[in-house]
Structure 1
Amino acid sequence: MEMKKRINLELRDRAPEEVTELVLDNCFCVNGEIEGLNDTFKKLEFLSMANVELSSLARLPSLNKLRKLELSDNIISGGLEVLAEKCPNLTYLNLSGNKIKDLSTVEALMMKMEMKMMKRKRKMKLVHLKDMRKRKKRRTRMRMRMKMKQAQNWEREKRRWASHT
């Protein structure tokens, strides 16, 4: 389903000015750009566009009240600086599963957002693919340690029972 149609379905006979949350996950965006979303969504606080094959944020409208933005599992590789100007109140951003190869693109956004956040004294949470990988590695190491400990305990029990016979 195309993004424009999905937005119309999500509105459910409401005016765009009234909507505070909009979930557009798994719909199709034409040419990798946002379509159907405009400046009339003035109260929008949460927007999710996960797995929509989004490659550019250039057509993102100004969403001054937006606080949470889900952009996971897309093909975004840069152009994140747009978020600082168009979403000044953004406090949560999920970019995991995108094609971001160089952290300098994310750092540029962070610098701009930090300048704005210093004025408001808010913290921005940024979930990035590398953070997700670190967590996964940490969990894998913990599982390996647990398996090693279980194997050591098993060997200890075997030796103990062997010494009793």
Structure 2
Amino acid sequence: MEMKKRINLELRNKAPEEVTELVLDNCRCVNGEIEGLNDTFKELESLSMADVELSSLARLPSLNKLRKLELSNNSISGGLEVLAEKCPNLTYLNLSGNKIKDLSTVEALMEMKMMRMKMTTKLVHLKNMRKRRRKKRRMTMMMKQAQNWEREKRKWVSRT
């Protein structure tokens, strides 16, 4: 479903000025840009656009009351400075699963005056390190289980 249609469905007979929360997860945007969201959403405090194939925030409207923004699992790799000027009261931002490769991309966000962000940017390098740690932990657990199994097996054999 396209983003414009999803926005109309999510409004549920409300005026855009009355909406405080908007969930657009898993809908599709055309050309990787935001569509159908405009300045009439003045009261919007929470916006979720997870997994919508978003690659640019250039068409993000001014959302002065927006506090929570979910942008996980998209194709965003830059242009985050738009958030600093269009969403000045942002306190939570999730950018995990995007194509952000280094911290210089998010430096523009650090200049926001009122920002108390919980940013979960999973950089490619960090993500790979975490996967390796998890794999190592799993292997260690499996080895301990095998050792315990062998120990129990020896006890059982010695009893008979």
**TM-score exceeds 0.5:** yes
Alignment match, 1:127? 120
What is the CA distance between 1:139 and its match in structure 2? Answer: 3.9
1:152 is aligned with what amino acid? Q
Q: 2:156 aligns with which of 141, 145, 161?
A: 161
The question of whether the paired residues in 2 share the 8 Å contact of 1:70 and 1:94 is answered with: yes
Alignment match, 2:45? 45
The question of whether the paired residues in 2 share the 8 Å contact of 1:96 and 1:132 is answered with: no
What is the CA distance between 1:135 and its match in structure 2? Answer: 5.1
Alignment match, 2:145? 150
TM-score (norm 2): 0.86
Matches of 1:132 and 1:19, distance apart in 2: 35
The question of whether the paired residues in 2 share the 8 Å contact of 1:81 and 1:112 is answered with: no
**Number of residues of Structure 1 aligned to a counterpart in Structure 2:** 158
Alignment match, 2:71? 71
Change (3 A) 1:19 1:136: farther
Is residue 109 of structure 1 aligned with residue 108 of structure 2? yes
Q: Which moved more, 1:29-38 or 1:151-160?
A: 151-160
What is the CA distance between 1:63 and its match in structure 2? Answer: 0.9
RMSD: 2.1
Change (3 A) 1:70 1:132: farther
Matches of 2:17 and 2:146, distance apart in 1: 60
Matches of 2:110 and 2:13, distance apart in 1: 39
Is residue 32 of structure 1 aligned with residue 27 of structure 2? no
What is the CA distance between 1:154 and its match in structure 2? Answer: 1.4
Q: Which moved more, 1:127-136 or 1:9-18?
A: 127-136
The question of whether the paired residues in 2 share the 8 Å contact of 1:10 and 1:23 is answered with: yes
What is the CA distance between 1:32 and its match in structure 2? Answer: 1.3
What is the CA distance between 1:161 and its match in structure 2? Answer: 3.3
Matches of 1:35 and 1:50, distance apart in 2: 15
* Cα shift readout 1:96-138 (whole Å, capped 9, x = no counterpart): 22122222102x134223xx13xxxx63101122366555544
Matches of 2:128 and 2:91, distance apart in 1: 22
Unaligned runs of 5+ in 2: none
Matches of 2:145 and 2:43, distance apart in 1: 54
TM-score (norm 1): 0.84
Share of identical aligned residues, percent?
Answer: 80
2:54 is aligned with what amino acid? L
Unaligned runs of 5+ in 1: none
